[in-house]
Amino acid sequence: MTTGAKQDQLLFRFRQTDTLTGVSRSTTKKIAESLGFTGETQVIHYALQKLAKEVLPSYEADDGELTEAQLTAIRKAVPQDQTKMVKASLF
């Protein structure tokens, strides 16, 4: 096994019992069976992917708030005193 391959591995230890922050091997096996996965590794990857979607932003962070110069440029580009109303009907 090469050094690069070893860096892409992770030792995983199951909990003796299910807790808020961990699961037992028997629970992982039951999840695998329930989802039709061939092994526990697939369950771990699946769970981590779901967690990543939940906690990591799915968009690139912006540059923060607009500067006063940017706001001034926007105000100049868009007439501020010509408010128009739109009326809509459902029928």
pLDDT at 28: 97
Within a domain: residue 44? yes
Within a domain: residue 23? yes
Within a domain: residue 84? no
Measured CA to CA, the distance from residue 30 to residue 33 in angstroms comes to 5
Measured CA to CA, the distance from residue 69 to residue 76 in angstroms comes to 11
Greater model confidence, 23 or 7: 23
Residue 25, token pair as written in the block: 């091997």
What is the three-class DSSP state of 22?
strand
pLDDT at 78: 84
Instruction: Determine the structural domain holding residue 43 and report its residue range.
Output: 10-58
Within a domain: residue 16? yes
Within a domain: residue 25? yes
Residue 11 φ then ψ, to 5°: -80, 130
Measured CA to CA, the distance from residue 44 to residue 27 in angstroms comes to 12
Average pLDDT over residues 28-46: 96
Measured CA to CA, the distance from residue 35 to residue 45 in angstroms comes to 13
- Whether the model clears a pTM of 0.85, i.e. scores above it, the answer is no
What pLDDT, in 10s, does the model give residues 70-89?
999 998 888 767 666 767 76
Please give the tally of structural domains in the chain: 1
What pLDDT, in 10s, does the model give residues 51-67?
999 999 888 878 889 99
